[in-house]
Amino acid sequence: MADWVLATTDEEIDAALEAARNAPDEPLIVEAAYRPEPGLEFLMLKLSDGRRLLIPREELDELKNAMVEQATDLFIVPSGTGVWWPQLDDGIYLPDFLEYRWGKVPRGVAA
């Protein structure tokens, strides 16, 4: 049986916890769906801060040439910071999208 060696020190754990406490409180994507509604196709994002974004297809360059089947095949990246369309090999990164669309939104303020 192998001897186990502690690879992370208490100081490293404390430093990581402190860094997490001081990290910006950016919203994360908790739900995402593409809705191909007649007359209005849109991406719906539900964020961890309670906002829901409805983004018309024509405002998403990532979906410019996508078929409906490709646009509906999406997933939230594990960190919650983006949406990825595997069939298109493309996606959006939420912090950049929010800044591009509305400018920097202060913590706790809905856009």
Residue 6 lies in a domain: no
Question: pTM of the entire structure?
Answer: 0.69
Residue 4 lies in a domain: no
**pLDDT tens for each residue of 30-75:** 999 999 988 889 999 999 889 899 999 999 999 999 999 999 999 9
Task: Please give the distance of CA 3 from its chain centroid, rounded to a whole number.
Answer: 40
Domain CATH for 91: 3.30.2020.40
How are beta strands 90-93 and 75-76 bridged, if at all? unpaired
CB–CB of 86/19 below 8 Å?
no
Residue 17 lies in a domain: no
Residue 92 exposed, middle or buried by CB count within 10 Å (0-12, 13-18, 19+): buried
Residue 81 lies in a domain: yes
Cα gap 66→59, rounded to integer Å? 13
Its domain, for residue 96, covers 29-102
Residue 88 lies in a domain: yes
